[in-house]
Structure 1
């Protein structure tokens, strides 16, 4: 139940229409004590030593009190009457308007003209034939009272405090204005003071719902509470029930949020705002590092760190293992990046460490491994064989790659058509591919090295091969190659070429890659043999080319790959060649 007005005031308000006699005093007198002194009784006032009796009363809404409120109407009544002694004629009387009060109306018991004069007062001047013969107040020899009542409205904006309505009058005999006493009222606040206490968590996270509660005192206060985040409203006003208002809220942004609860009372209760409760709101973050898995010495490498959410603020420190790489980088729109150039090959493990500001929590990326390799060597590929070929007869296409790569293949094309690939010998950089031309004329051969770790790709210029027709009255031959011996550096190995049919006559030119080994060797009973010592490790393609004598067609063996190593311990006899099956074909 809403408390009654009289219960909430220290001094009861006067009942409507009642008249009370108020304490007389000087205009504008301030009273420190919030409870005004009791009103004095009407007395015999000696204003001009002529013993005219004066009194001043205020009429308000409740008897027995001079406590009023903004919005009240107050009536001040001046009473003047003759007591004894020599009579005097009154020409005018004036009530001094309390500062800020608004004039409403007046009444007077004697014939007179009444003129409101603003804050100077409300003046009543005698009328009816001259003030020296027709006084406002009775003539000498009889008693006659004057009642002069002026009603004022107290504005709603009136400042609280004490206000005086003074009284003055003019005496005809003296020809001067005399001062009378005044009566005062005290304007006080009619509303009940309230308090608001906010309960809020000390910390929260974005996206998580929290509870906010406000306790309003007294518990029967009527009104609403608006919860606020700084100057921004949190939801709609919440009705106070039993002195409590509560709501739930989810923060969208991290940082320090200043929360208040603002109570707005109805007509009987004052507003009140709680003290600020600061809620430290944080946001979880994630950091993702993007970097290449490999890099080349001397080439720039960029490391990108993506921070989520993208609105997070802070810096990223990139690290190579435990070592900082550069200075921390500001995060802009959820991203930070750094570029580094490596001066030597090696393995690295990069991470990105985000340090948040404004309530954004720290986070670390997963490690990103990086292998830095030396820059690839530039290569040159050149086709060297064959100069001539016979249509329908298998021959070898040969190309060299410089510098010698440690792996890789060469792809051959004939007249723009790919015809196959062959491994590159690591010992001599030669790739050999058996091929049979099917058209008489000139064919163009191109070899492309497709690359290997540390070696760049390269493509040869076109190489022209003259393809001849089969000579008549010649018999076809085949040539095969066999290799025996210790396949280590510095040991002799035996190359044996076998030509079929066994009766074919001619010579064999042995080759390692495209390098001829010795002079051509005559074929005897279908066999030709030579020895060779390899002086470097690596893989080599060995071939045997038969140049037929009268009546015999040429033929060539497929390449046989020999892997040459350095002997770790000397040993007698012939070492195992392992598998000599041609990785370039047979």
Structure 2
């Protein structure tokens, strides 16, 4: 293999044939065979035979997470994780045999999500099918069941209001606060940055849910909050609020020693 021996010398058979089985790393390999010679037979070297080895395809595992229950017509966030994180590909969420929306592009950690409303009550069987990508094999998640119930006549409509800063500094944590009215007896709030969940759902306390979050990228981030609902209370989604994230600003030079004027006075 180039200048590297592949194993040890191999004996020829009666027809002058020899073979060897060796594993090769990914990449291009120039394979030659060198006959050492024997008695009246002189030695010889073959022309190079080029072998292009592609990386082995990696098996993947796809998993779906989301709430176990939902109310008909309410927003539900479904999350997917493909492991190990592939270098490309998409995930198609499905409810039984029916597609939910279009394919979802995965982020660099192999994660994706979709917000869905169920139109009918009953058990919904949710799966996610990873498309595969170069070097990564397709996979399908186990089914995640969401039991959807019709809104009860006594269920109370809720309103979710989001409070966020207008601006933030990249890498510095800011508080995202959601207030649900009237104060429901339970439920959680899922904060979202566009279509990407910000952490896990946050339990309500006295009608409020707060998440401390540092933004990793600059620019405009469209934040919203989805209240899950609870027995007797309907789900609700806050209006989008924009947080503009800037790069950190250098603090400038220190003036602890003061100016010459402050030390000696000025006239």
Q: What's the TM-score bracket when you normalise by the shorter of the two chains?
A: 0.5 to 0.7
Distance 1:558 1:409 in 2: 28
Match for residue 327 of structure 1 among 37, 41, 47: 47
Distance 1:518 1:492 in 2: 16
User: What does residue 204 of structure 2 align with?
Assistant: 520
Distance 1:558 1:402 in 2: 33
Distance 1:467 1:422 in 2: 23
User: What does residue 83 of structure 2 align with?
Assistant: 402
The structural deviation recorded for 1:492 is: 0.8
User: What does residue 257 of structure 2 align with?
Assistant: none
Q: Cα 1:517–1:466, aligned 2, differ >3 Å: closer, same or farther?
A: closer
Distance 2:248 2:65 in 1: 37
User: What does residue 121 of structure 2 align with?
Assistant: 440
Mapping of residues 189-268 of structure 1, within 5 Å: none
Q: Cα 1:544–1:412, aligned 2, differ >3 Å: closer, same or farther?
A: same
Distance 2:240 2:113 in 1: 7
Secondary structure at 2:152 match in 1: coil
User: What does residue 553 of structure 1 align with?
Assistant: 234
The structural deviation recorded for 1:479 is: 4.6
User: What does residue 19 of structure 2 align with?
Assistant: none
Which structure carries more relative contact order (alpha carbon 8 Å, separation 6+)?
A: 2
Q: Cα 1:510–1:441, aligned 2, differ >3 Å: closer, same or farther?
A: closer
Mapping of residues 463-502 of structure 1, within 5 Å: 463-477=144-158, 479=160, 485-488=168-171, 491-497=172-178, 499=180
**CA deviation map 1:258-312 (0-9, x unaligned):** xxxxxxxxxxxxxxxxxxxxxxxxxxxxxxxxxxxxxxx64899xxxxxxxxxxx
Secondary structure at 1:327 match in 2: coil
The structural deviation recorded for 1:494 is: 3.2
Q: Cα 1:529–1:518, aligned 2, differ >3 Å: closer, same or farther?
A: closer
The structural deviation recorded for 1:517 is: 5.9
The structural deviation recorded for 1:438 is: 1.8
Residue 87 of structure 2 contacts residue 133 of structure 2 at CA under 8 Å; is this kept in 1? yes
Where does the alignment leave 5 or more consecutive residues of structure 1 unmatched?
1-296, 302-325, 329-337, 343-371, 574-586
Residue 398 of structure 1 contacts residue 433 of structure 1 at CA under 8 Å; is this kept in 2? yes
User: What does residue 3 of structure 2 align with?
Assistant: none
Query: Which of the pair has more CA radius of gyration?
Result: 1
Q: Cα 1:478–1:434, aligned 2, differ >3 Å: closer, same or farther?
A: farther
**CA deviation map 1:297-344 (0-9, x unaligned):** 64899xxxxxxxxxxxxxxxxxxxxxxxx717xxxxxxxxx66143xx
Distance 2:238 2:127 in 1: 22
Mapping of residues 273-312 of structure 1, within 5 Å: 298=26
The number of equivalent residue pairs is 197
The structural deviation recorded for 1:410 is: 1.5
Secondary structure at 1:516 match in 2: coil
Residue 188 of structure 2 contacts residue 227 of structure 2 at CA under 8 Å; is this kept in 1? yes
Does residue 509 of the first structure (1) align with residue 189 of the second (2)?
yes
The structural deviation recorded for 1:457 is: 2.4
The structural deviation recorded for 1:549 is: 6.5
RMSD of the alignment, in Å? 4.3
User: What does residue 362 of structure 1 align with?
Assistant: none
The structural deviation recorded for 1:418 is: 0.5
Distance 1:403 1:433 in 2: 20
Match for residue 449 of structure 1 among 130, 141, 145: 130
Where does the alignment leave 5 or more consecutive residues of structure 2 unmatched?
1-24, 30-45, 252-267
Residue 447 of structure 1 contacts residue 460 of structure 1 at CA under 8 Å; is this kept in 2? yes
Does residue 340 of the first structure (1) align with residue 51 of the second (2)?
yes
The structural deviation recorded for 1:449 is: 1.7
**CA deviation map 1:363-385 (0-9, x unaligned):** xxxxxxxxx6x445432110111
Structure showing the higher strand proportion among its residues: 1
The structural deviation recorded for 1:543 is: 6.8
**CA deviation map 1:421-443 (0-9, x unaligned):** 3232324x332111111222111
Q: Cα 1:514–1:403, aligned 2, differ >3 Å: closer, same or farther?
A: farther
Distance 2:117 2:175 in 1: 28
The structural deviation recorded for 1:472 is: 1.6
